[in-house]
Amino acid sequence: MKLTERLSQSKPMIMGILNVTPDSFSDGGRYTTVDSAVEKARAMLQEGALIIDVGGESTRPGAQRIPAAGQLRRVLPVIEALREVMPPDRYISIDTTLSSVAEAALDAGADCVNDVSAGRDDPGIFELVAARNVPLMLMHMQGEPKTMQDSPHYEDAVAEVLDFLLRRIDAAGAAGIPRRYLVIDPGIGFGKRKIDNLKLLAHLDRFVATGVPVLLGTSRKRFMGSILDVADPAELVAATVATTTLGVIKGVRVFRVHDVKENYQALEVAWAIQQSR
């Protein structure tokens, strides 16, 4: 089954995070060899992930940009190796904002593109996705990773983020990408204050109401640590599970997480309860 067909179904799915970077906020430096990355991906697939999201550039607050050549050195060997072992009903996503990286990743076996800039960094991504007929994840971010948490501000975070995503959906459509190939992500933690993140979570149904599948990425995010007075992101697994449960109830379709087993269990139980209604 193609990923576009899977996304059209109502049951949500887990996207496992595979950062092949030295500086990601929670797991940087842990999967920088092909063998370690493939081993981690295998574990996430066994734990219930349907998508493995491979990224070669950290987007943590304060992160420096990595040029295409640097990203490709990191991600291509991993994607090629993953393609050899991936079951036919599981998928690879390339996490990049650059069309050249996305194109090479698709050539190597990736199934979709996850663009945290929503096509603003490189409009060529829209042309590429339209030509390849693959899903595209569009995320909201105020500013850029290096400066996004310096002084984020919104008058109405929910309305402003939703308006941005609707405009990016229109821009993607104008470039020839069918609406059914799109996924939207409110960008929890990307240029947002704690109150903004909480309001977005409280109103996930407004994003679901667009009819475009919604992706939620709260995994180990700092705003939850500030609520709990916890500094270590690895200690925020249960907090992430709480947001996954909420997201299933609200109708979110994809959950991008580090801790697949725990979030898969939460998803399955929440979904079973929803279905019983």
* pLDDT per residue as tens digits for the range 223-235: 999 999 999 999 9
Confidence (pLDDT) at 33: 87
Residue of 57, 64, 25, 28 lying closest to 225 (CA atoms): 25
Whether residue 221 lies in the annotated active site: yes
Per-residue pLDDT of 71-80, as tens digits, reads 999 999 999 9
Task: State the Cα torsion 119-31-83-89 to the nearest 10°.
Answer: -80
- Owning domain of residue 120: 3-276
Tell me the average pLDDT across 5-15. Answer: 95
Q: How many domains does the chain have?
A: 1
Tell me the average pLDDT across 264-272. Answer: 98
| Whole-number percent of the chain with pLDDT over 90 | 86
Per-residue pLDDT of 94-136, as tens digits, reads 999 999 999 999 999 999 999 999 999 999 999 999 999 999 9
CB within 8 A of 151, min separation 6: which ones?
none
Is residue 220's pLDDT more than 80? yes
Q: Three-class SS of residue 33? A: coil
pLDDT level of residue 59 (50, 70, 90 thresholds) = confident
Average pLDDT, the chain: 93
pLDDT level of residue 194 (50, 70, 90 thresholds) = very high
Tell me the average pLDDT across 185-203. Answer: 97
Confidence (pLDDT) at 245: 98
Q: How far is CA 183 from CA 4, 64, 137, in A?
A: 10, 26, 5
Confidence (pLDDT) at 128: 98
Is residue 18's pLDDT more than 90? yes
Confidence (pLDDT) at 25: 47
- Better pLDDT: 24 or 90: 90
CATH of the domain at 72: 3.20.20.20
Is residue 150's pLDDT more than 90? no
Catalytic residue among 6, 40, 220, 256: 256
Catalytic residue among 60, 74, 192, 221: 221
> How many angstroms separate the CA atoms of 79 and 93, rounded?
9
Confidence (pLDDT) at 29: 55
Tell me the average pLDDT across 250-271. Answer: 98
Is residue 31's pLDDT more than 80? no
